[in-house]
Each structure stands twice: as C-alpha cells, then as structure tokens.
Structure 1
C-alpha cells in the first residue's frame, strides 16, 4: 500500500492509489452531481404540494449551515474530527429523510420544512466529504474525475425522468449516505490531520500565502456564476420542474473525452472561457427570441455545466495545496454556490412571471449578458484561476533557526542585529525572536498573554519591515545572518 505525503510532510496511509483512487473519486463526485439534480428535479417539486416555500427555507438553512462550518472550521478545526463529521452527516441525513417522509404523508408543512432543511444540510456535508476525499488525486486525474463524473451524472438525468417520483425521492435520500461511505476511507486521514493541527486562522498569520481570504475572486465568481446556474434551473420550468436539455451532453461529453485523451491537466481558465461563451450565447438567444427553446436550453446548460466542473476542480485543487484549509475553503465555496443558486432560482421565477411580455424577458436577458461581460472585462480581466492555484504556497514543516559553529552569534544576537537595522519596536522584536525559533501564533499568544489580533498585527509589521512573506523566509533570514 502506498503512502501519501501531507502538506506538513507527514505520511498517511492511502486506501487507494493512482487510477483506483481516481475511480472511487469519480463515482463519489458523480453521486454529488446526481444528488443536486434530484434535489431540484424531484424533491423540491414534491415539497411544493405541501408548502410552496419549502425549497427557499431549506436552501437558506443549508447556506447558513455551510457558512457557519466555514468560519468554525477556520477558527476551531478541533470540532471537526472525521468520526464526528461523518456521523453528523449521516445522522442529519437519516433524520431529515424520516421527517420529509412524515411531512409529505401527513401533509405537515413545519415537519416538511425541518426535514427538507436537514436533508439539504446533509447533502452539503456529504459534498464536503467528497471534495476532501479527492484532494490527493493530482491535477490531471482530478480534471478527468470531475469532468467524467459530471457527464455521467448528466446522462443519468434522462434515466431519472423515467422513474416515478417516489423512487427518485428515495434515491435523493440515500445517495449522500452512499457517497460518504464510498469516499470516507480517502477523506478520513485528511480530516484527522486538520483536527490535530493549529487552526487555519492561526497558521494564516505566519503563512498568508497559503490561505485564500473569504473575499477572494474565486468565491465571488462562484457566487455570480451559481446565480446563473440557479436562473437556468428555474427559467422556463414547467410546474416548477427544471427543463431537461440532453443536447448539452454532446459538448460536455467532448470535454470529458478531451480530459481523458490529453496528457496534460485541464485548464481552469479554459473552462471558465467556455462557460462564459456558452452562457452569453444562451442569454443572447433569449434576448432575441424570449422563449426557452432547445438551442437556448442547451447553451445555458453547457455554460452552467462547464462552470460546475470548474467549481469542483478549482476548490479541490486549492485544497490539495493546503490541506489544513481544505474544510473551510470547501465549506465556504459551497456556501457561496448555495447562496448564488438561491438568488438565481428566484430571479428565474420572477422572469417566468413576465413571460406574457416578451420585451421584458428580452430586456432581462440583455441585462444579464451585459452584467456577465462587464464582470469579465472590468473585474476578471487580470484574474486567473490557474495562477491562483499555483500561487497558494503549500504549508511545509518549519526548520527553526540555530546558531552554527562558524559564528559565535546566538539566535538572540542575530535577531537583535536584524531588528535594530530594520527598526523593530520592542514588542515586534520579542515576537520576531519567537518566530525565529519556529514558534506558532498559539504559543506566542499564551507566552505573551495577548490576543490573536494583537499577534496578527505585530507579525504583519515584522514581515513588512523585514521584507519577508512567510514564516520560513523569516527563519532563513535569521539563519543566514552572520
């Protein structure tokens, strides 16, 4: 059995290797994609018969939960050990499924809303487990796994349309449990590593290049393009059931074949451009002929499909660069996707209400096209998903500074020389010496009896004055001081 080396240099047993790991990840990702389709295609339309606002209430609860997990795991990763997380996801899913069944059979809106909220939360938790289980695939295999999983899941939509609603609802409740069971062995070691380490918030102080802020362009793009996804789901729907554009399988399948046959990894920026082109083309078709035809549906489905592949690809790739931050990043990315979908879906229904006036529908489509183009030209023009992934600096074990035999200078003397030359204050000098010895933020907090924000501010001042960008650079600077 092979071993995988963590971002901190530790070796962890890998339950599967190479293409075997990729196969398990493909199946688990496929389950995640199918789950979200069944949520919108089967579950939500059934819920509408009991309470029309069930989908909105459950989506809000799901978004709030993912947002809370993102912040809690950023500050308190010790709350999220693998056993606790997996059991919570399974328990939430089972409880939600039972409440959904009771709410539907007994026609109880409150019970149904509670059950639907728990099922939506469980789906989000399962999605995070799948993402974390895939972060050691490598870029090429990851691109293949995500693209192939999406295409296979998309093809299954035609099969689900032939099944009765009750069967699809049962699958909707069971699939997240199956995806957790499939990927648990791959995800467990990474969860437990995060559980054992310092919090990402603490580590980000001394290694800012290893962490993306929550306001990063990656997450803004997820919010905006998941808005388009939500709009595409609901605009033109019949009886609140999304349209099925199987024609999109051709270009999406071509992408999966391209990923399989190429020896190089998929380009995330290329995926983004494909998504933009198809989305703009679809909305232009709507602005010309404001009726959701097959060509329009295919173009919009391709645009959202390419971006779905991009979203999973980028989030998992970023997690592979810094496993310590994988949980908060995946939770936050899925939260942004959830909020974007909720907003877009309701805007799509608003547009459906204007169907009697084609001019209004055309104007809305034209506004969306303008917004997409404006975002790309004004905001996204210098941004690159590929460069963002490459720019994340993997966390590595620190090598503390030491005084060698060639010079009588101690670490304190070296730090004093550097600090005096760079104008460090007394407190900054004190923190500088702790950092030179490889101490982390938690140790400095406890030793100096100060707050996290105080340490963070002083560390940023020390870095700026010394001209370094990471903890290891600071240590290397001290190491080479003669």
Structure 2
C-alpha cells in the first residue's frame, strides 16, 4: 500500500524517490560525512570546557575589579564594562564589512597577543594606580575576550540544540562547584589581587586552547554554507531592525530583551559586589540553581522560557530581600545580604546561560549572519551591563541624601522587571523566537497542519537517517533551498526546515534535532508547503532538484 505523500518521512510509497544530489549522497553513507568530521569527536567536550573557562573568567573579572578601598565600581569596573562594549562594537563592524578577515590564520595569535599585552597593562595600571594604563589594558584584553566569546558561540551553534542546551548549564554548574573551593583559597592569599589577575589570564588561556579549533572550524562552515539572503532574519523572527526589512514591532523585541538581560546583570553585579558587609555568595547554592534549571527544563517543551522565568524569579527574590537589610540587626544583616547576593547572582547567571543558548540557536538558523548575530547580540548585552552599573552607581550616590534611596531603587527595579515581563514580553516567547516566531504572526495562514507521522521504513527515510550529504552536495542543497526561500518568502527557521526536508529528514527527527515541539514542526511544514505550492515532501525534493539542475 502506498505511503501517505503528505507526511514527511511518513511512508515508502512508489512516488518517494531520491533526487539527484540526495541519491548520490546517500549512496555514500558508508563513507561518512567529511564536512562534519571537523566538528565531531572531542569538540563538544572542548566547547564545554571553553564555556566553563569563560564563565570562570567573567567571575574572576568581577572579583578583580572590586576595589580594596573606596566605592564600587571603581574606574577599573567601568573601564572593563566600557571596553567590552567597544570591543564587541569593533568586532561587529569587522563582521559586517570584512567577515573573511577573521578567518585568517594569524587572527588567533593576534588575539592572544592582545590579551597578554592588555593583561600586562592592567597589572601595571593596578600597581602604579594608572587609570590610562588600566583603560588601555582592559580595552585590549576585552577585544581578545570578545573574539573568543564569539568564536565559542559559533562552535556551540554548529552542534545540535540538544547538545548545546545540555552543555551550557552543565558548564556553569561545574564552574560554581569549583568556585566554592577555589575563590576562598585565592582570596585568602596575601597577594589576592595578583592571584585573581593570574587566574583571569589562566582561564582565558584554557578557553583559548579549547575553543580555537572548533570555533574556527564552525566559522569556516558558516561562511562557506551560508545561504546569503535566505539566511537573513525575517521580520517575524523578532530580531533587530538592522536584520530585517519588514516593519512591525516584533523585529526589535529580541534585541531589546538582550539589552534588558544585560541591564539586569549589570545592576545585580553592582548590588552583589558593592556591599562590603556581605559574606559573599554561596557558590554551592548557585551550582544547585544551575542544576535545577537542567531538571526543570526537562519537564517543559519551552526550555529556553524555563531558563528565563527561573532567572527572573531568582532576581526578583533577591531584589525584594534588599529593603529588609536596613531593618535587621548586624548578624541578621550579613545573613540577609548573603541570601540576597546569592539569589541575584544565580538569577544573573541564568540570564548569562540564556544569552549563550539564544545566540547559538539564532546563529545556527542563519549561517550567513552567524558572526554578526553573535557580535551584535553580545554588544547589546554588554551595553545593558554598562547601563546597569551606571544605574546602580547613581542610586548609590543618592544614599548620602537618604539611606533609603538604594532600597527604593531596588524595589522599583523589581517592579520594572515584573512590568516588563507581563506587559513588554506579553506576546514574546524565547522558544517562539528561536523557532521562527510563527505563533506570534498576525498574518499566519489558518487551516489544518500537514499530518506528521513516525519515520517511514522506505528508501528515503532509511537513507536520510543513514548519513548526511557530503560537503559539495550539502552546499548545493543549501544554495537551492536559499533560492527557493527567497522566491517563496520563507523565514529563517522555515528555510532551515526546508533544507532538512530536502535531505529526506523526517518530521520527528526535525523536532528532536531543533528541540521544538512536533506541533511547531507541523506549523512550519504547512507554511513551507503553502509558500512553495507543494503538497508533499517528495514535491519539495523535486523542487530542490529542479533548482539544483537550473544552477
């Protein structure tokens, strides 16, 4: 009996035949996929270690810029925050105008040299109390760190969403388990500041050693396989205006959210590190919070939304503890500050994880824009963090007028977060944004979704699950899908799913690979069929084959 023609991977009917590029590619299933070999093997572990090293690097940076005397943030804190904004802006400019320049073999060594020179200037500025040397040092070190962060993000983007989502919280949990023993030891040393600076350098070198190879391999794959205009973000995807030609408020939502996440992180950093009465934070509790995110996300289809809501609740709880500190006795005061700091820091780190997840997923769905998306997204977060530091500093400066001002600002900030989450993000979902935002499209096409069944047992399903196309064939399919996407007006996520359908992937496989629900896959497939005038996966394959032949 003939299989259902409208089910991707749902039958083995006579009409389901392998088109030219796929027939040749699938016949080489035993040969493996040479294009993917560069990003398999130990590279996921390398990226996880690099991510953990970068998270430790950021933690050590926050500890280092806290001055031993005077107010926080010192000029060092502001210099580091401002340098991060400038570094990501410079990287974004290069990514937009001359992205291939970042693929030159000398770039990693130039970044390493910049970081070493910057760290030396920071050390010299610290010992000689030179603001100029410190600012120059932070700028050079931040430029190298920005490059390494973007490179690590590209490497994460090349792996499956499931792998990336599992690696990121696990890396952060490991960091804070290690920090529970490492940070107290370092701070107990006589030359604690120099020890922190040395640890800052060592964590960068560890991340550099682990991230360069997979990051450069991912950069090459994204640059070679990018689908040009088809890979550009669409207006329905909720990305910044610069990335879309279509109008409407959804196109700027995600960019604004990234700035807001950075603002929260900057303000919480001020609150956490600006209090000298605190016993610090509980790194073990923070590690437990990261593990709780992993567990909670396993019971939800909207995994990224779980991370956001979990982090939001932690930050709100931490901010609402702040007003009670002034009313407590000395012993209770330290305990309350400790609890507040731990909650705020844990929530801020949830947002940091969310940024990694969001930018990796967005870059994966838009290969041609991957580098610019990573740099631009990071610049937005850094800009927000700088704004958060400024907000905290302004609030603290008014404490001379009234000691209640910082408490009022903390409560007001908590209220603003709730208002933004309930009103500003009322129709926003991270999961929808990553999957193309179709659920929020006012003009989405109504009607029944295409039926999606289990993977079939015919030649198409068997071959598609056996191997991916090789380098040349995969690039040809991507180009053809890009051309069809431009003609049909497909979104970035629809273009990604179109390529997977063209390679013979089944709907359950697509849902698992992209970490989205089967219903979301049905919606995307329905829109792809409608926009391209197709009625089955075989017709999609024929369209791609015809486009390949025309090219």
TM-score scaled by length of structure 1? 0.72
Cross-structure match for 2:107: 85
Matched ranges for 1:52-201 at <5 A:
52-81=74-103, 83-158=105-180, 159-163=182-186, 164-196=192-224
Alpha carbons of 1:166 and 1:191: their partners in 2 closer, same or farther (altered >3 Å)? same
Alpha carbons of 1:104 and 1:283: their partners in 2 closer, same or farther (altered >3 Å)? closer
Alpha carbons of 1:399 and 1:232: their partners in 2 closer, same or farther (altered >3 Å)? closer
The answer as to whether partners of 2:280 and 2:338 remain within 8 angstroms in 1 is no
1:304 corresponds to 2:326: no
The answer as to whether partners of 1:236 and 1:352 remain within 8 angstroms in 2 is no
Deviations 1:172-215 (A, max 9, x none): 12322321221222112222244457796x55579777894356
1:346 corresponds to 2:395: no
The answer as to whether partners of 1:230 and 1:343 remain within 8 angstroms in 2 is yes
Q: Note the C-alpha offset of 1:156.
A: 3.2
Matched ranges for 1:316-331 at <5 A:
316-331=360-375
Alpha carbons of 1:250 and 1:153: their partners in 2 closer, same or farther (altered >3 Å)? closer
Distance 1:401 1:313 in 2: 25
Cross-structure match for 1:445: none
Distance 1:104 1:285 in 2: 34
Tell which deviates more after alignment, 35-44 or 344-353.
Answer: 344-353
Alpha carbons of 1:378 and 1:184: their partners in 2 closer, same or farther (altered >3 Å)? same
Distance 1:300 1:110 in 2: 32
1:16 corresponds to 2:53: no
Matched ranges for 1:323-472 at <5 A:
323-355=367-399, 357-391=402-436, 397-399=478-480
Distance 1:129 1:206 in 2: 20
Alpha carbons of 1:58 and 1:211: their partners in 2 closer, same or farther (altered >3 Å)? same
Q: Note the C-alpha offset of 1:47.
A: 11
Q: Note the C-alpha offset of 1:259.
A: 7.4
The answer as to whether partners of 1:278 and 1:299 remain within 8 angstroms in 2 is yes
The answer as to whether partners of 1:119 and 1:173 remain within 8 angstroms in 2 is no
Distance 1:85 1:273 in 2: 38
- Of 211, 215, 225, which residue of structure 1 is paired with 2:261? 225
Cross-structure match for 1:314: 358
The answer as to whether partners of 2:156 and 2:360 remain within 8 angstroms in 1 is yes
Q: Note the C-alpha offset of 1:160.
A: 2.0
Cross-structure match for 1:255: 292
Q: Note the C-alpha offset of 1:224.
A: 0.9
Tell which deviates more after alignment, 89-98 or 77-86.
Answer: 77-86
The answer as to whether partners of 2:317 and 2:343 remain within 8 angstroms in 1 is yes
Distance 2:421 2:314 in 1: 14
User: C-alpha root-mean-square deviation of aligned residues, in Å?
Assistant: 4.0
The answer as to whether partners of 2:223 and 2:367 remain within 8 angstroms in 1 is no
Alpha carbons of 1:209 and 1:168: their partners in 2 closer, same or farther (altered >3 Å)? same
Higher relative contact order (CA 8 A, sep 6+): 2
Cross-structure match for 1:423: none
Distance 1:98 1:264 in 2: 47
Q: How many residues align?
A: 403
Distance 2:232 2:430 in 1: 24
The answer as to whether partners of 2:88 and 2:376 remain within 8 angstroms in 1 is yes
Distance 1:353 1:245 in 2: 24
Q: Flag structure 2 segments of 5+ consecutive residues without an equivalent.
A: 1-32, 187-191, 243-250, 327-332, 439-473, 488-529, 534-539
Distance 1:329 1:78 in 2: 15
Q: Note the C-alpha offset of 1:288.
A: 4.8
The answer as to whether partners of 1:231 and 1:341 remain within 8 angstroms in 2 is yes
Cross-structure match for 1:427: none
- Of 312, 315, 323, which residue of structure 2 is paired with 1:276? 312
Q: Note the C-alpha offset of 1:468.
A: 5.8
Distance 1:124 1:313 in 2: 17
2:116 match: secondary structure = helix
Q: Flag structure 1 segments of 5+ consecutive residues without an equivalent.
A: 1-8, 403-417, 419-466
Q: Note the C-alpha offset of 1:238.
A: 5.1
Distance 1:101 1:263 in 2: 47
Distance 2:34 2:157 in 1: 16
Distance 1:206 1:169 in 2: 40
Alpha carbons of 1:44 and 1:196: their partners in 2 closer, same or farther (altered >3 Å)? farther
Distance 2:354 2:166 in 1: 12
The answer as to whether partners of 1:140 and 1:266 remain within 8 angstroms in 2 is no
